[in-house]
Each structure stands twice: as structure tokens, then as C-alpha cells.
Structure 1
Amino acid sequence: MRLKSLVAAMAAVASLAPIASQAQSASENPWMVRVRATDLIWQNGQTSSVSALNVKAQDKIIPEFDVSYFFTKNIAAELVLTYPQTIQINYGAGQNQLGTIKALPPSLLLQYHFTDLGAFKPYVGAGVNYTIFSSRNNLGNGAYSVGGSSTGVVGQVGADYMFDKNWGLNLDLKYATMSTNVTVTSTGADAGKLTLNPWMPSVGITYKF
């Protein structure tokens, strides 16, 4: 149901494209792409048995690719993508490795771009994050598993500095709400919740078509 909701939201944005294209000037292409390096800085909140084990996800730098469509010169939608990322989960005072899980965390955001400041073009955005967890039974040699997905909100501030009409440098900061339930694999008993809620500072290259 959550995945269907995200797909429906993306479809709704896409359905606006014919209307939005009329708002673009004839000489301006509405598409923009970016490639970023993103640092996942997990906040690692815990409850119940998960807290007793001091379970934490290990921070990681990942590649990120996003596509933006400008409905007007100020309003855009951005789809943020990567491929499934292997996240190391640690535990205990010494933060020894408990295992790994994989996470695929696409986000869809609506943005406002401030475009009248010359080459410097800051923006703000807000939207939804849907994270799909896989390889979920690898914790504690299979003793623990995590839930299949997480739906949350995501906020964003950033800026492009355009070197010319096509190429630019991008700096971006996002925060997403993200969590997963941890269960005892053998019994299905609830072991608590791991709240990840990552900060995601990024740096990358912008290309405006």
C-alpha cells in the first residue's frame, strides 16, 4: 500500500508535465539532472531490546542521482535515486558488526528555486521518502530481521552555482524520517524499533538541459 501511494504521487506529478510545459518559455528546457556524493549520517534512535543491544547503523557515503522537472522557473519536482545500498549494523559498547542490511531510499520532493540571484540559485524542498529494505535477515547470524519498508517525510535546502547556462556545482542538505521494526527471527517477537532519521549532506555536479 505504501509503495502504491508513492507511485501514485509520482504519477500525479508526471501528469502535470503537459500543463507545466506551457509555462516554460520556448527557449528553456525544463529538465535538470545532478550527480552527487551523499554522506548518510544516521541519528540511530532505539527502543526496547534494540536499545539494550545499543544497535546503530554505520554512517556511509553513497552515490546519488536525481532528476528535476521545472513546472515554472521557480517551481520544480525532484526525484532522488540511488541503487540498493549495503548498510552495516553494529552493536554493543565496542560497536562490533552485527550484520548488514540493504536499503533503497528514493525520495520525491517539491521545490522552490530562487532564480533571480545571478549564478547563485538556492532552493528549498519538501516531500516523501520511501525506503525498501532487503537482505533483512542478516543480523546476528540470522537471529534478528528488520521490516520491509519505511515511509517518511523529507526536507531539503540547497543551492546550485551555475558556471554557465548548462553546468553548475551543487550543495545540498536533506533530512528524512526513516525507521524499521526489529524482530526475533525464530519467534517473530518484537525486539523494538531502530529509528534511522538520516541527515544527508551532499556535493555534486548539476547539468541543466
Structure 2
Amino acid sequence: MKLVSTLLATSIAVLGSSQVMAYEAGDIMVKAGVINVAPKNDNVSITGVGKVEVKDDTQLGLTGTYMITPQVGIEVLAATPFKHTVELDGNKIGTTKHLPPTVSVQYYPMDSSSAIQPYVGAGLNMTFFFDEAGAVKGDALGPLGDSFGLSVSAGVNYDIDDKFMANLAVWYIDIDSELEGSNTALGKDYDVEIDPIVVMAGVGYKF
């Protein structure tokens, strides 16, 4: 019985260890999944016109992380282009597309051999707007200026085995654009605070 108990305990330990991926310096993690960008409400109020809101959109999200140490990594967030509906007092007035690449430094507080790996991060975002279309009081929806701002993030990896993982992550991104309306019926340019909450759920692979 003692031999059986020893073999059983050893087997459990081996199986348990095979389901854990130890993070090491030089590791690369690539994750893909569904990502949603949800801008804040009341993005801008235009005097005499109304409140303009940018609605949310869901796309394919991609992240790549390079581990500098077992507990510190550099992450790049990318996605297929987001297409947002722009509404004026609840009525659609146009659409815009954007790409929000974000670079973050992440910290993993747990021991590198833990199967559950929560993390927090902070970084920089550059958002590019393009393909604006629509009308505001008969005028084409003015271009939205590109944005450069800070971001903070948090997430968790669950290591399925020594290569594959499940992931859930959230970012808050400071995106402040400018609606160019000086040469339209709007009469001037307006600051647009988008400041979205970004949520991604996906799977990943460690190289």
C-alpha cells in the first residue's frame, strides 16, 4: 500500500506540473480572441446641435508579449479595424474606423510556476482614425484627429498546459480626438473624449 500511495502521489505531482507553464525571460506569448471597444457616454456636446456619442464595436484582437524577466513583460495590443457608429442625440449621423495599437509594460506578481497568472500593466496608445462618413446637418462628418495617450490594463492567464493558455484582459485607454468642423456648419473644432473600456477574451500560445 505504501508503494501504491507513493506512486499515486508521484503521478499527481507529475500531472500537476505538466499543466503549469513556468514563465521565463525570453518567452513569447501570442494571444487571439474577441475584443470589444466601448467608448464612454457623451463624447462631446455641440452647442445648438446636441450630444454626439461614439458607439461600441467588436473585432478580432491580437496581443504579443515578450517576457523580459519571469515577472515583467512587454505587450503589444493590435486588432482588426474597429468601425464605430456616431450618433447625435440617438440618431445615426455617420461612421468612423480606427486602429488603436497599444504598448504596455506588464507585471506578473505570482510565482512563475503558478497556473493562474494575473497581471497589471501601463503603457502608451496611438489611435488612428480614418474612413469617416456621414452627415452633420448636411455637412460631411469632419475628420477625427489621431490620438496619443496613456493606458492601464489588467488581466489573467490560465495555463491549460505548458504551451496553451486562456486569457481575459481589460484596458482603459485615454483617447482624446478632435472633430474638425471649422469649415462646416459646426463653425469650429470640437474635442472628443472617447476614453474606452476595452475587453478581450481569447486563447494564447507560448513559444
TM range (shorter): 0.7 to 0.9
Match of 2:118 in 1: 122
**1:139 positional shift:** 4.0
2:158 to 152, 161, 164: 161
**1:52 positional shift:** 4.4
1:112 to 107, 116, 120: 107
Structure 1 runs of 4+ aligned residues shifted over 6 Å read: none
Q: Which amino acid aligns with 1:107?
A: T
In structure 2, what is the Cα distance between the partners aligned to 1:50 and 1:62?
A: 33
Asked if 1:175 is matched to 2:172, the reply is yes
In structure 2, what is the Cα distance between the partners aligned to 1:202 and 1:51?
A: 38
| Higher CA-based Rg | 2
Match of 1:194 in 2: 192
**Cα 1:96–1:168, aligned 2, differ >3 Å: closer, same or farther?**
same
Q: Which amino acid aligns with 1:36?
A: G
Q: Equivalent residues in 2 for 1:22-171 (5 A)?
A: 30-49=27-46, 52-92=49-89, 95-116=90-111, 118-136=114-132, 138-140=134-136, 142-171=139-168
**1:127 positional shift:** 0.2
In structure 1, what is the Cα distance between the partners aligned to 2:128 and 2:84?
A: 12
TM (normalized to structure 2)? 0.79
**Cα 1:200–1:145, aligned 2, differ >3 Å: closer, same or farther?**
same
Q: Is the 8 A contact 2:32 2:63 kept in 1?
A: yes
In structure 1, what is the Cα distance between the partners aligned to 2:187 and 2:110?
A: 52
In structure 1, what is the Cα distance between the partners aligned to 2:107 and 2:58?
A: 27
Q: Is the 8 A contact 2:182 2:188 kept in 1?
A: no
**1:47 positional shift:** 4.2
In structure 2, what is the Cα distance between the partners aligned to 1:59 and 1:50?
A: 24
Q: Which amino acid aligns with 1:163?
A: I
Q: Is the 8 A contact 2:26 2:69 kept in 1?
A: no
SS in 1 for 2:142: strand
Q: Is the 8 A contact 1:183 1:189 kept in 2?
A: no
In structure 2, what is the Cα distance between the partners aligned to 1:163 and 1:115?
A: 16
In structure 1, what is the Cα distance between the partners aligned to 2:48 and 2:127?
A: 22
In structure 1, what is the Cα distance between the partners aligned to 2:122 and 2:42?
A: 22
In structure 1, what is the Cα distance between the partners aligned to 2:71 and 2:48?
A: 44
**1:45 positional shift:** 4.0
